[in-house]
């Protein structure tokens, strides 16, 4: 029995596929089994569901059983890891952690990097304290799906007071078409610890990628999180990250999205402790007939919490973009300050954006603002550049690059800004029905 507004799924077929995939063993097996029931009960969300209004995954639902059919990961194809010589590189293939393709040596003593299967054996209590604590299967059908079909994921546990100077870079690759990847990442930052985490999605085949990340940030910790979504042009990508910040934790998130046929990212950030602070920025780009959605849900649950969210979209061709940003301020979250902005650039007549910034405030002493603008390149700026002798295509490129570059300053992983620039260049090539 599917829930209201959801897409009917062939429950018996999916259950049979799940059973044949051998996912029912061990500590994770129990969690998976419960999640499968939840998923089949919920079904996939349809467009009558408010948060899926502009993103239609009916076609994914039709093919879901085939995607979920177990396929043993093979040798991955396509792009290798990001050029980050200092990083600790981890690799997932078809959604499953691949230790033989990952660096696990040379980690500081206070940093634990382990597969979820190993963690479940060695420290089931630690696993239980991190897994599914933020990502609740009954809140989201896609979290339930991930949990039900999650192969071996990875956990990064950083002890109190430890600074991990090297970034941890996780590359999510594919080895075959029509596979479903359900990667799971757990991160725990101990009190006063510091880390940089980079997630890089770069499937080389048309696949379905449904990642869930849970990041726990203890008091006074500092997290610099990056996500680069550069999936294959026919890939379905539906990701969610949960981040919980305790007292005075400092969170910074940077999302860059330019791949996939349909890509949706949801960032759920909870400022749970007094004085926690979050800076979130996102750049999403699409051309052709791609569909991209950026969702943001920031919860201020404690006093003196502050956040700033800046998202920018650039859409070309006949691409469609969706932005939904919500700032929630709970009753106890006095002295909250939050500022949410979304700016979008439409480069062609056929491109489209639906944007909805929202504030939901239950405290009375707060300072919150939100705003959204959508437009074309500024004609006055363009004329200014032309009047200096810069030709029109160059002037346009300068303005488009500037629109993105303004957001991507102060990046500790510069390769991401470089890749975003490259993506912008190919985006500009899609001049179908150009404006001005």
User: Which residues make up the interface to another protein (CB under 8 A)?
Assistant: 378, 380-381, 383-392, 394-395, 398-399, 401-406
In order, the DSSP letters of 309-370 are EEEEEEE-TT-EEEEEEEEEE-TT-TT-EEEEEEEEEE-BTT-EEEEEEEEEE--SS-EEEE
Strand partners of residue 93: 96, 173
Which is closer to another protein, CB of 56 or CB of 374? 374
**Dihedral sign from CA coordinates of 374, 315, 242, 45:** positive
The CB-of-250 to another protein minimum distance in angstroms stands at 26
Provide the pairing of β-strand 236-245 with 367-375.
unpaired
Which is closer to another protein, CB of 362 or CB of 383? 383
Which is closer to another protein, CB of 349 or CB of 421? 421
The CB-of-284 to another protein minimum distance in angstroms stands at 17
Which is closer to another protein, CB of 338 or CB of 407? 407
**Dihedral sign from CA coordinates of 309, 250, 85, 264:** negative
CA pair distance 261, 56, nearest whole angstrom: 12
Which is closer to another protein, CB of 2 or CB of 405? 405
The CB-of-134 to another protein minimum distance in angstroms stands at 35
CA pair distance 21, 15, nearest whole angstrom: 10
The CB-of-375 to another protein minimum distance in angstroms stands at 15
Which is closer to another protein, CB of 4 or CB of 380? 380
Which is closer to another protein, CB of 379 or CB of 429? 379
In order, the DSSP letters of 96-136 are EE-GGGS--SS--TTEEEEEHHHHHHH-HHHHHHHTTSSS-
Structural contact between residues 169 and 200, judged by C-beta atoms closer than 8 angstroms: yes
The CB-of-374 to another protein minimum distance in angstroms stands at 18
Q: 257-283 as b/e, with b when 16 or more CB fall inside 10 Å?
A: bbbbbbbbbbbbbbbbbbbbbbbbbbb
Q: Count the neighbouring beta carbons within 10 Å of the beta carbon of residue 125.
A: 8
Structural contact between residues 288 and 260, judged by C-beta atoms closer than 8 angstroms: no
The CB-of-341 to another protein minimum distance in angstroms stands at 14
The CB-of-339 to another protein minimum distance in angstroms stands at 18
Q: Count the neighbouring beta carbons within 10 Å of the beta carbon of residue 7.
A: 21
The CB-of-377 to another protein minimum distance in angstroms stands at 11
Which is closer to another protein, CB of 204 or CB of 390? 390
The CB-of-395 to another protein minimum distance in angstroms stands at 7
Which is closer to another protein, CB of 142 or CB of 404? 404
Alpha-carbon distance values, 280 to 24, 26, 314, 338 (Å): 37, 37, 18, 11
């Amino acid at each position: 029995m599917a829930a209201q507004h959801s897409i009917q799924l062939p429950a018996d077929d999916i259950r049979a596929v799940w059973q044949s995939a051998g996912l029912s063993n061990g500590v994770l097996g129990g969690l998976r089994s419960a999640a499968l029931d939840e998923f089949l009960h919920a079904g996939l969300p349809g467009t009558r569901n408010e948060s899926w209004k502009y993103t239609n995954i009916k076609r994914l639902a039709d093919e879901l059983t085939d995607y979920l059919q177990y396929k043993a990961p093979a040798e991955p194809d396509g792009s290798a890891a990001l050029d980050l010589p200092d990083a600790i590189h981890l690799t997932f293939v078809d959604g499953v952690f691949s230790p033989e393709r990952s660096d696990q040596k040379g980690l500081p003593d206070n940093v634990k990097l382990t597969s979820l299967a190993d963690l479940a054996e060695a420290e089931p209590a630690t696993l239980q304290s991190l897994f599914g604590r933020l990502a609740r299967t009954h809140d989201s059908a896609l979290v339930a799906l991930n949990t039900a079909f999650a192969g071996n994921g990875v956990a990064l546990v950083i002890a109190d007071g430890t600074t991990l100077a090297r970034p941890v870079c996780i590359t999510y690759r594919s080895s075959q078409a029509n596979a479903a990847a359900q990667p799971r990442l757990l991160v725990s930052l101990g009190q006063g610890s510091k880390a940089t985490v980079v997630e890089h999605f770069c499937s080389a085949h048309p696949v379905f990628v449904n990642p869930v990340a849970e990041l726990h940030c203890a008091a006074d910790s500092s997290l610099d999180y990056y996500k680069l979504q550069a999936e294959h042009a026919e890939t379905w990508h539906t990701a969610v990250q949960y981040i919980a910040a305790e007292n005075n934790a400092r969170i910074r998130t940077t999302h860059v999205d330019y791949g996939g046929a349909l890509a949706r990212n949801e960032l759920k950030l909870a400022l749970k402790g007094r004085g926690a602070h979050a800076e979130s920025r996102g750049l999403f780009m699409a051309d052709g007939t791609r569909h991209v959605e950026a969702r943001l849900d920031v919860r201020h649950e404690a006093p003196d919490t502050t956040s700033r969210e800046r998202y920018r979209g650039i859409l070309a061709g006949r691409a469609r973009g969706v932005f939904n940003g919500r700032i929630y301020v709970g009753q106890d979250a006095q002295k909250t300050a939050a500022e949410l902005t979304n700016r979008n650039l439409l480069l062609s007549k056929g491109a489209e954006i639906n944007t909805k910034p929202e504030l939901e405030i239950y405290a009375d002493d707060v300072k919150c603002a939100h705003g959204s603008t959508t437009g074309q390149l500024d004609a006055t700026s363009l004329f200014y550049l032309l009047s200096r002798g810069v030709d029109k295509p160059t002037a346009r490129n300068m303005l488009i690059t500037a629109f993105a570059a303004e957001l991507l300053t102060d990046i500790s992983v510069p390769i991401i800004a470089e890749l975003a620039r490259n993506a912008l260049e190919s985006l500009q090539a899609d001049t179908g029905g150009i404006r001005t």
